[in-house]
Each structure stands twice: as C-alpha cells, then as structure tokens.
Structure 1
Amino acid sequence: MIKKIGNNGLVVFMVLSLGLNACKEKQEKKEGKGLAEEVVADADGFVPIFDGKTLDGWEGDPKYWSVQNGNLTGEVTPETLLDNNTFIIWQGGQPSDFELKLEFRIADAGNSGINYRSDKIDTIPYALRGYQADIDGKIRYTGQNYEEKKRATLAYRGEKVVIHTQDHPDEPGSLRANVQRNCWQSREVVGSLGESDALKTKIKHEDWNEVHLIIKGNHLQHYVNGVLMSDVVDEDTVNRKASGYLGVQVHVGPPMKVEYRNIRLKQL
C-alpha cells in the first residue's frame, strides 16, 4: 500500500535526498571519480610532468611536437625544415633547484637538448636561451653542458669545470667576444670525469637512454645512464641564472626525430 506524503514529509524527503547526493558527490571527489587524475610523487619525490597522452602543460609548435606511442615527440620533416631551433616548453613553473629524470631516444641525424633555467626569446617563437643538457644522435655532444644562445659550451663531456666571469663584462659585445670556437673562454677545467670517447660508450645509439640532471645552487651535473658526464660550478655572477623555464628542443638541420618519455621533476 502506497501512502501519500504530505507537504512537510515532501520537504523532509527532498532535504534527505539532497544531503545524500552531496555526500555521494563528496565521496566521489575524494575517490577522484570524474576528475583529472591527481599527480602523485613517487617514493623518491619525483612528480611526472608529462602524462604520456597529451601535450597538456606544455607549449610548443604543433608542426613539430606531438605525442606518439606515449612519447613526447619532436620531428622535423623535409617539408618542415627549421630556420631557428624550436622548443616545447613546460608551463608548470620556472624551477630553481631541482632534479630532473627522463628518457630519450634520438635518430642518428638528430640534434636536441634539455634546456633549464632558461629565458624565453621574445623575437623568436618557442625559443629559449639558457643552460642545456646537450643531446645528439651521433653522440658527439651528448652529456655536455651547452648554453643555448649565450655562452655556448661550458663543459665538454668528461670535464669538471669552474666558470668565471670574463674581464670587462659591461663592455658592448663582450659576451660574444668571449666565445671562441663555440666555447666560453672564461672557464677552468679543474678535473676529469673520464675520456670523452670512453664515456661515449655508455650512451646507446638510437635507443633509450636515461638523463638525470642535478641542479642545485650554482652546481650543475648532467648524468646519462647513471654516469656523470659533465660537472659545472658557475661562478659567473653576471651571466648565470638561478631559475627559469624548462623545455626540450629540435635543432636546425636535416630531418630528424627525437622522443622523450617518463619525464619526472623533483624540486629541491
């Protein structure tokens, strides 16, 4: 038998229903239902900054950057040759002290790099100026510290280096004048991490390699596959940077492809 509900009973029923729905919605939010997945740090404190599915949180030219097979992919074709190096730039902040881990795979003809503590260049779309963990397909430069559009090579693979401020840094053109043979002249090699050719054997050709950057204060360390490839202490108070944008590059040159995956950041 169905009993009729009076006005007061109807009000109570509606209130109870709304309350139950609110509790259900709160519980669903708590469980993450219907919401974007929460980004959680791993046991070592690293947080993924690329989801393996989309370019969300990254800004770059879609002519060159896409997600393919779960990898952040930069590709230059015969129809899209570059006039300037172009980057895809992480939009989540401008890290200062941090550790970055990722894996890369690059074609033999490829030239790329991981920029950090970098500035955007207003006159060139998707361009960065700053420190770079160099990467190339022929493994000539992979592991070195190269400063894009600034002081050029700071440390070759296998070098432990202290960077000094050049004499008379305020003179017009002094920055360009202090770069010779694509290398910063006010640098001092203070130790060896091993011969460059021997370290090269630790890097896989056209296969996946892991990069680990440890960037703390003015101490910049580039590891590839667990091996320290370059070590820089930057004492150049005029030109060094304490924070800035993070991004990865495709370089002017022949058609190429570079892939990145498992990109994880731990801010210190």
Structure 2
Amino acid sequence: MICFMKNNLIVSIQLPLLILFFCSCSLLNADEGKEFISIFDGKTLKGWRKAPKTSYEPWSVNDGVIRGEGKENRLVYLVYSEDENLKNFELKFRYKMVTKGNTGVEVRTRIDKTGKRPFEGYHADLGHVGIGPGVLGAWDFHFGSGTRKEFPCQRGTRLVIDSEGNGKHSPIKDAINITEIKKRDWNDCCIVAKGNFFQLWINDKLSSEFTDHISEGRLESGFIGLQLHDKGMVVKFKDLFLKKL
C-alpha cells in the first residue's frame, strides 16, 4: 500500500522495502497459486469484530492504523470475521508498541469451553522490548483447562511435541536477536500456520517455531485474533495481509 508522493525518491525507496516485506517468509511455504489479500481497509473495522464484549471500545482506526487500548485487566481480541475457520495460511502485518505491554496474535482460535480463558488457540506472542523472551517473539499455548500441557516456546527456540505429548526444545540458528526488534517503532511480522507446523518471523528473521504431533486436541482450524492483554497498554497494527495455503 504505497501512497503517491511528490518526492519520487521516497517512492523509489519504499517500493523495495514493501517487496521485501512480502517475500521475507514465503520461501519455505510458497504456494504460487495463491496471493496475499489485504484484510484491513485502512479506514474502518469492516470484516473485524471485538470479542468478548466490553464496556468500552478497545479498538479504533486512524490514519490507516488499528489502535488497541486496554482499559480493563482482561484479555480482549479483535477477530478477523470474514473467515473464522482458517487452517493453513501466512499472515503478514506490522505492529508497534506505544506503551509497555503484552500483545500478540491468536491463530486457529475457538471458544474455550472450560472457561480458563475466553479462547483456546496457538498464540504468537508480542510485546514491548524488555518484556522478555518468554513473551516477545515466543509461541504460547492457550488450551482449555485439563486438556493439554502448555509448553514454553521462547524466542530463539524450536519446539517439537511428539505423539506421546513430550516436548523437545532446540535453539534456532541465526534467530532474531532482541537488538533487531525496534523499540516503540514498527516491526514487520509474519505468522505461518501449515498443518501441524507453525512459525513466527520478526523483521525477516525467524523468531520461534513449533511442530505439534499430537493429533488429539490439536487445533486444526479457527479464527485470527489480535490481542490486548493489559490495562493501560496501547498497541498499533497496520498493513495486514493474508494468504491461504
């Protein structure tokens, strides 16, 4: 999404950056028959819904940006409602933490019938620089109470969960370093969900990944949800693009 500018030099600089953003994490998951589509029109929240219901409006749009502000100590989501049964996909977006806080993107999400959380899902964890590797750039598991073990998968970690429910961790070579994540600025992210394999990329570098070999209780499909975690936090999202695989 490049605006026409009077300064041709600015356009010539931005174009390669945008191309790089689209190409950064598609090499291992290329599907030539599919294209990325924009899932945010830059003006409204058409095609999105907040969940669960709140007493205030946590999500707003201004200048092509989705702004989320937490005013309660509870999990609040902005759900992409055009397709709430997504399975295999790549999701590209940019996010910026305006304050300290915990955010992220829930994928293959469904209602948590046990009541432990509003939803079950695989959670690509994000937050402010300094929040720690267990949040920023990690994968988190949001399973219903008493259903499955929730393994840690910190930034820089590759996790394999075998069919017996055991988890094996190993380091990712050349994973993103905390110094490569911009503080209070825009960071490019890509989430890959393909079968039982999941990746989180930040600024063109792999942050964390996992493979889930447990068939019973594995989340096969669901919706995408942007998350607000904390009271007083402010986060922004823009340039959201989805490609089904």
TM-score normalised to structure 2 length: 0.74
Q: Give secondary structure in 2 for the equivalent of 1:156.
A: coil
Query: How far is the alpha carbon of 1:123 from its aligned partner?
Result: 8.6
* Aligned position for 1:135: 126
Question: Is the Cα–Cα contact under 8 Å of residues 78 and 225 in structure 2 kept in the other structure?
Answer: yes
* Aligned position for 2:49: 59
* Aligned position for 1:225: 203
Question: Is the Cα–Cα contact under 8 Å of residues 98 and 214 in structure 1 kept in the other structure?
Answer: yes
Q: Give secondary structure in 2 for the equivalent of 1:45.
A: coil
Identity of aligned residues (%): 30
Answer yes or no: is 1:117 the counterpart of 2:108.
yes
Question: Is the Cα–Cα contact under 8 Å of residues 135 and 143 in structure 1 kept in the other structure?
Answer: yes
Question: Is the Cα–Cα contact under 8 Å of residues 139 and 203 in structure 1 kept in the other structure?
Answer: no
| Alignment size in residue pairs | 201
Which of 187, 193, 217 is 2:172 aligned to? 193
Answer yes or no: is 1:71 the counterpart of 2:65.
yes
List runs of 5+ in structure 2 lacking aligned partners. Answer: 1-21, 23-31
* Residue pairs, 1:162-181, within 5 angstroms: 162-164=160-162
Question: Is the Cα–Cα contact under 8 Å of residues 165 and 237 in structure 1 kept in the other structure?
Answer: yes
Q: 1:139 to 1:211 in 2, by over 3 A?
A: farther
Deviations 1:44-74 (A, max 9, x none): 7110001111011101156211112221111
Q: Give secondary structure in 1 for the equivalent of 2:42.
A: coil
Aligned amino acid, residue 99 of structure 1: E
Aligned amino acid, residue 168 of structure 2: E
* Aligned position for 2:17: none
Q: Give secondary structure in 1 for the equivalent of 2:121.
A: strand
Query: How far is the alpha carbon of 1:149 from its aligned partner?
Result: 4.6
Which has more radius of gyration?
Answer: 1
* Aligned position for 1:246: 224
Answer yes or no: is 1:91 the counterpart of 2:85.
no
Which of 188, 194, 198 is 1:210 aligned to? 188
Question: Is the Cα–Cα contact under 8 Å of residues 103 and 260 in structure 1 kept in the other structure?
Answer: yes
Which of 235, 239, 242 is 1:262 aligned to? 239
Query: How far is the alpha carbon of 1:81 from its aligned partner?
Result: 2.1
Query: How far is the alpha carbon of 1:153 from its aligned partner?
Result: 4.2
Q: C-alpha root-mean-square deviation of aligned residues, in Å?
A: 2.5
Q: 1:47 to 1:193 in 2, by over 3 A?
A: same
Deviations 1:150-173 (A, max 9, x none): 444441111111013566xxxxxx
List runs of 5+ in structure 1 lacking aligned partners. Answer: 1-41, 168-185
Aligned amino acid, residue 138 of structure 2: Q
Aligned amino acid, residue 60 of structure 2: S
